[in-house]
Amino acid sequence: MSAPIITLEGIRKTYRSGVVEHEALRGVDAVIEEGEYVAVLGPSGSGKSTLMNILGCLDSPTQGRYLLAGEDVSTMTEPELAVVRNVRIGFVFQQFHLLASQTAQRNVELPLVYAGVGRAERRERARAALERVGLGDRVDHRPGELSGGQQQRVAVARALVTEPSLVLADEPTGNLDSRSTSDVLDLLDELHDAGRTIVLITHEHEVAARSRRTLVVEDGRVVRDTPLPRRSLAARITDEVVAP
């Protein structure tokens, strides 16, 4: 049996500014198996973004151990961590982080450039990723020529182009209207159904409800770990409309 894709053991993170200390994470334990779709739910300041940064190898814990597919992240060299961030993990952020001067295709190609993939293969894989997110007819459009929802789908395509085993989505619908939110969440559903591991960071209960399991974070701790039945955002909205 393969190791869980994520194992967190006693994760603590303390930030220091002079003599002042702030403990953002206070002993987080969690296991996420390959192929799960997990939402990390909590209000602003709860520690969920700090947790996301540690999961993405963008930051390291002050104490505790993080195993990625069974490998202790703390033993990795910086070049090895760079490969993890560029190839093994796909990131989708609230801010799209697209290069305004580059086309959708060129934006999606960027992780492959850093990975040293040849030009012809980069082009083919980027176009395939854009087709996958429904933007095959927008490959030559720049971000300013796309809607917010389309820009986020370009960001999802960029996250997928290296075929990562893990997708980390940090408030991916925070800048989107309700229609674009539904479209992006539908896409995450499809990725999960295809076997991808998804970890979604959010403060919105309606967005977390699209996951299959929710970790509720408060004051730097996981206070609840709940499997959820699959329910669409549209179904929840309908329930609210017809509720007495």
CA angle in degrees (0–180, nearest 5) for 14-19-25: 15
pLDDT-above-90 percentage for the chain: 81
Residues 131-160 have pLDDT tens digits of 999 999 999 999 999 999 999 999 999 999
DSSP 171-227: STTTT--HHHHHHHHHHHHHHHHTT-EEEEEES-HHHHTTSSEEEEEETTEEEEEEE
Residues 61-102 have pLDDT tens digits of 999 999 999 999 999 999 999 999 999 999 999 889 999 999
The reported pLDDT for the residue numbered 238 is 44
What's the N-to-C CA distance of the chain in angstroms? 49
Q: How confident is the model at residue 1 (pLDDT cuts 50, 70, 90)?
A: low
* Residue 26 CB burial class (10 angstroms; 0-12, 13-18, ≥19): middle
CA distance 79 to 84: 9
Q: How many residues does the chain have?
A: 244
- Entry pTM: 0.88
pLDDT-above-70 percentage for the chain: 93
The reported pLDDT for the residue numbered 236 is 44
**CATH label, 6-242, candidates 3.40.1280.10, 3.40.50.1370, 3.40.1670.10, 3.40.50.300:** 3.40.50.300
pLDDT at 232 over 80: no
Return the closest-CA partner of residue 215 out of 22, 34, 65, 46: 46
